Amino acid sequence: MADNKRRDDDGDDRLDDEIVDDVADDDASGADEPVSRGGTATRSRARAESADSRPTTRSETGRVGVFGRVARFFREVVAELRKVIWPTRKELLTYTAVVVAFVAVMLTIVGVLDFGFAKVVLFVFGNSD
């Protein structure tokens, strides 16, 4: 690890594990794209752009009633369920057996610990018979 951080013998001050990009980025393809500085757009510009593309009537806004939204939800649920890769019967039985075995092991562990702690508590505090 220390060898990776040593400087080169030829006097170069760069570290061995440092990644350096020596090629200048002078592509002509990047000149066409505007450079974003991470600022926010002004409100007047946003309003001007949104006013041109805003639909004017209610039917164009895409608003749907409650029943339409519920129906669309169920259609989308059915469409997603069709994409599911359902397990085969053998896989289903295998997964079920694994889950039942895991639950049985955990039940045994918790039961043994509960029994042990109950005996310890009764030993420490005495039996109130």
* pLDDT tens digits for range 10-60: 555 555 554 555 544 455 555 555 555 555 555 555 555 555 555 555 555
Show Cβ contacts of residue 101 under 8 Å, excluding neighbours closer than 6 positions.
none
Q: Is the pLDDT of residue 121 over 80?
A: yes
d(CA 113, CA 120): 10
Per the model's pLDDT, the better-predicted residue between 98 and 64 turns out to be 98
* Residue 63: predicted pLDDT: 80
* Residue 104: predicted pLDDT: 98
d(CA 67, CA 74): 11
Mean pLDDT of 102-117: 98
Confidence of residue 61 (pLDDT cuts 50, 70, 90): low
Q: Is the pLDDT of residue 91 over 80?
A: yes
Q: Is the pLDDT of residue 100 over 90?
A: yes
d(CA 50, CA 56): 12
Are 44 and 32 in contact by the 8 Å Cβ rule? The answer is no
Count CB neighbours of 15 within 10 A: 13
* Residue 35: predicted pLDDT: 57
CA dist 23 to 28, 90, 109, Å? 14, 57, 62
* Residue 79: predicted pLDDT: 95
d(CA 15, CA 1): 12
* Residue 6: predicted pLDDT: 52
Show Cβ contacts of residue 69 under 8 Å, excluding neighbours closer than 6 positions.
none
